[in-house]
Amino acid sequence: MNPIPEPINTQSWNGKQFFVGILFLILPVILFAYVGVGATLKCQNESCELERKGFFQSSKDSFLTSDILRIGYNSEGASLVRTGASSVGVSGTDLEIHFQNGTSILVFGTPIGYQFGNLDYRELDVLASHPKGDPIVLSSYSFGGKLLFIGPTMAFIGYILILMQFVRPVTADLLPTDLQKNRIYNLVVFLSSLSFVIVLYFLLWNLGKSKLI
């Protein structure tokens, strides 16, 4: 007896589900590449150079530590709200360096705690309040704020959608031998695919890090 062919509607849904899963896996990588930014600060004596790098653009600024008015996270741009260890105020979103002449440099536009590295307001504040003659190199990178939670969630959903295309049924109407085989097969598929996805994203994360700092 020939097997009953799978309904066309089911095949179409499976194809769409697989496509959506691939999309959910790829989209976080695109978003991380779009918002990713790294910053490296190099100082010697009183002269400093700040380089900000993204995947598609970069910028450099030079300044003297004696020109710094204040440093900190600031939710209102160049307002007079003082933040950081050398001043008082509320913590906001933007890590900025403000100068005596009223200008400022944006280091990061993401909330505190979303950068990875040693370039933060504490290190910058020490640099401004207790300048040293020794060469200093500070660097951090960031992939955004909310995206750090949204991205992995999207990737996990995409992984589950794709995984569902490869699992075999483990229903009670199967023969014990077939049921056991399917369980082993599903376990192998789950562990191998999960390991592959984790390693892949780990490599992509480190590749992005190397491009930003």
Q: pLDDT band at 111, cuts 50/70/90?
A: low
- 26 shares its domain with 83: no
Distance CA 34, CA 183 (A): 40
Residue with tokens 């307002």: 79
Q: 122 is in which domain, residue-wise?
A: 37-142
pLDDT above 80 (res 41): yes
Q: pLDDT band at 11, cuts 50/70/90?
A: low
**According to the model, what pLDDT value does residue 113 have?**
59
- When divided into structural domains, the chain yields a total of 2
**According to the model, what pLDDT value does residue 7 have?**
54
Q: pTM of this prediction?
A: 0.71
Please say whether the beta carbons of 75 and 92 come within 8 A: yes
User: Among 73-77, 87-91, 207-211, which is the least confidently predicted range?
Assistant: 87-91
Kindly report, residue by residue over 144-183, the tens digit of the pLDDT: 767 778 888 899 999 999 999 889 888 888 888 998 999 9
Is the residue at 18 inside a domain?
Answer: yes
- 133 shares its domain with 183: no
Region 114-132 average pLDDT:
76
**How many residues are present in the chain?**
213
- 45 shares its domain with 126: yes
Give me the numbers of helices (H) and strands (E) for the chain, helices first please.
4, 8
